[in-house]
Amino acid sequence: MLLLIVCFGAYILGSIPTAIWLGRYTKGIDIREHGSHNAGATNTFRVLGKRAGWTVLFIDVFKGTLAANLPHVFPDSLFWEYKDELLILQLIAGFIAVFGHVFPVFANFRGGKGVATSLGIVLGINPPSAAVCLSIFLLVFLTTRYVSLGAIISALCFPIVSYYFIHDDTRIMIIFTVVLGVLVIWAHRKNIDRLLKGTENRMNIFTKKA
């Protein structure tokens, strides 16, 4: 019953289509029909501008962090002797939230790629790894102005950072970091193709016009 409650809550959180709702509210458009046709923060920067882009980014990250911490809503005594089980429940909730973001029930199951929500999960479960990977993303992005390349390289580095630098060698965490990294890279398969062809769009989210 606890697992079902947490999974349901995580899916509902993940399903909140921030970019889609904001596009409809501010411009009366479906953001999935403009730009890269993706319902994520990057496309929001391109289509709706900087303020809307930052709003979507922060909310989508927060969705992941909140979902990963849903198990903490219940009394600690339930998990006092089962810390591994608590971690597993957090990871399950996180993956369900990403699934909800990609396939949101509130937007005909057509959502974003789940990168920002994935970052939120890592922030909620393994903040040091999140900080390092975010730094890697910013370094790549600010150097190349490719958001997708920053996300891909950060995803590749995530398992290495978690295991070798943060020394989080819990088996379930190893599986989590590898699976999440693979999912992020898979979500960017079209971007990878455009990067190889030299047709990927560059952007600067810090200027007035993205």
pLDDT at residue number 128: 87
What is the C-alpha separation between 41 and 149, in angstroms, rounded? Answer: 15
* Residue 129 contacts residue 24 (beta carbons within 8 Å): no
pLDDT tens for residues 82-134? Answer: 556 778 888 889 889 999 998 999 998 888 888 899 889 989 888 888 899 99
pLDDT at residue number 90: 86
pLDDT above 50 (res 77): no
Q: Measured in whole angstroms, how far is the alpha carbon of residue 8 from the centre of its chain?
A: 18
pLDDT at residue number 173: 80
Written as one string, the DSSP assignment of 70-91 is GGGGS-GGGGTT-HHHHHHHHH
What percent of the chain has pLDDT above 90?
A: 38
Domain residue limits, the chain: 2-197
- Of 112, 156, 116, whose CA–CA distance to 136 is shortest? 156
The whole-number average pLDDT for the span 48-76 is: 88
Please report which confidence band the pLDDT of residue 78 belongs to, taking 50, 70 and 90 as the band edges.
Answer: low
What is the C-alpha separation between 116 and 40, in angstroms, rounded? Answer: 8
pLDDT at residue number 165: 72
What is the C-alpha separation between 116 and 64, in angstroms, rounded? Answer: 8
pLDDT tens for residues 152-205? Answer: 999 999 888 888 776 666 777 888 888 888 888 888 888 899 999 998 888 776
